[in-house]
Amino acid sequence: MRRMMISGVAVAALLAGTAPALATVPTGPARTTAPLNSCGYDVAGGSVNLRSGPSTRHASLGHLTRGDLVDVDRKSNGWYRVTLSERSRSGIRAGTVGWVAEPYLKPSTCMQLD
């Protein structure tokens, strides 16, 4: 999210309807991050903890195994927030949301069939 700063005079002009054009000034550097894989991720480890938060201090919700598929919507300090695409092999319900450490996931390969 970018924050904008405007002066009190500019606000008054906006409220009065007399402001020509409002220039915005970003308050911090723009962050660039690599996009997440839209095809989902595969669990790469033999038995991986699905955790309630992004660290080993958070409780385990269960175990994921190689071949389980997850979707990722957020990354935080080397952890991915994931949603199970389908029921895991260990029995965790599809749609369950949790966190997995980055080294235990690998991007799935997208395929297009013509």
Instruction: Output the domain CATH number for residue 96.
Output: 2.30.30.40
Q: What pLDDT was estimated at residue 62?
A: 96
Q: Are 14 and 22 contacting, i.e. CB atoms less than 8 angstroms apart? A: yes
Reported as a single tens digit per residue, the pLDDT across 48-104 is: 999 999 999 999 999 999 989 899 999 999 999 999 989 999 999 999 999 999 999
Reported as a single tens digit per residue, the pLDDT across 3-42 is: 333 444 444 554 565 555 444 444 444 433 456 656 788 8
Q: How many domains does the chain have?
A: 2
Is 114 contained in some domain? no
Residue 1's domain comprises 1-30
Q: What is the pTM of this model?
A: 0.65
Instruction: Write out the two tokens for 69.
Output: 């598929």
Total H helices, total E strands in the chain: 1, 7
42 to each of 11, 18, 28, 33, how far by Cα in Å?
Answer: 50, 56, 35, 21
**For residue 20, what are the contacts with CB-CB under 8 A and spacing of at least 6?**
none
Task: Look at 32 and 45; give whichever has higher pLDDT.
Answer: 45
